[in-house]
């Protein structure tokens, strides 16, 4: 999707099929994306634009964390987030079920694509969610510490990561950015 181009009908159908967004939701997100995020009208966001745009909205998240998030959403590894990738990202962040969010978190922080999270990758997740907890006024910062015993050399597989965290209500509220299980951005 280059400068001035819109999502194709095929891309819109694909997004409708993969998310709970309607065609109208996607159209509105696309308009917002073009107006507020894609300031250079290139058809997408490079990493610097992404970090700048979201640093004002996620002020307690570090630039390093926003860079990790950008790389996770850059599904084609182009160094550029298309409108389609941004719609998919909004779905994951706002409307996707907890199991899908946990899977996305795992994939985002599995930086070496090993299929496991090592000690350092888990420490990065912990750092991100301590910042998120602070942003949402949460007083209990050890949500991940309670779920995993942190030891040098440890590795956690995706299935175990999801199974361990799926029942932690406070953590699920943090990753959902909502209190009551529903987020109504679109």
pLDDT digits (tens, 9 = 90+) for 4-21: 468 999 999 999 998 889
pLDDT tens-place string over residues 103-158: 988 988 888 889 999 988 888 887 777 666 665 566 555 556 666 666 788 899 99
pLDDT band at 92 (very low <50, low <70, confident <90, very high): confident
The label of the residue with tokens 């922080």 reads 109
Give the per-residue pLDDT at 181: 43
pLDDT tens per residue across span 12-71: 999 999 888 999 999 998 888 888 788 888 888 889 888 887 777 666 677 887 887 888
**pLDDT at residue 4, rounded to an integer:** 47
> With bands split at pLDDT 50, 70 and 90, how would you rate the model's confidence at 184?
very low
- Nearest-CA neighbor of 185 among 26, 14, 51, 12? 26
Query: What is the model's pLDDT at position 2?
Result: 42
CB 1 within 8 A of CB 43: yes
Mean pLDDT of the chain: 79
* Cα 151 to Cα 63: distance, rounded to the nearest angstrom: 26
| CA 131 to each of CA 61, 104, 126, 134: distance values in angstroms, whole numbers, following the listed order | 6, 18, 9, 5
Report helix, strand or coil for 157. Answer: strand
Q: Could you tell me the domains of the chain? A: 9-94 (1.10.238.10), 98-176 (1.10.238.10)
pLDDT for the residue 186: 39
- Between CA 124 and CA 85 the distance in angstroms is 23
| Length of the chain, in residues | 186
What percent of the chain clears pLDDT 70, i.e. is strictly above it?
Answer: 77
């Amino acid at each position: 999707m280059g400068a001035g181009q819109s999502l194709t009908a095929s891309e819109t159908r694909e997004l409708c099929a993969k998310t709970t967004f309607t065609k109208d939701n996607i159209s509105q997100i696309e308009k917002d994306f073009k107006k507020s995020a894609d300031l250079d009208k290139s058809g997408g966001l490079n990493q610097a634009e992404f970090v700048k745009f979201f640093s004002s909205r996620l002020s307690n998240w570090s630039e390093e964390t926003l860079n990790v998030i950008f790389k996770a959403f850059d599904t084609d590894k182009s160094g550029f987030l298309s409108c389609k990738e941004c719609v998919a990202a909004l779905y994951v962040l706002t409307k996707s079920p907890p199991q899908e969010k946990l899977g996305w978190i795992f994939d985002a922080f599995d930086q070496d694509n090993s299929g496991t999270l090592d000690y350092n990758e888990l420490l990065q997740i912990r750092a991100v969610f301590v910042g998120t907890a602070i942003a949402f006024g949460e007083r209990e910062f050890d949500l991940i510490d309670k779920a995993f015993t942190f030891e040098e050399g440890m590795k956690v597989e995706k299935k175990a990561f999801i199974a361990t965290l799926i029942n932690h209500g406070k953590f699920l509220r943090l990753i959902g950015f909502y209190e009551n299980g529903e987020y109504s951005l679109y």
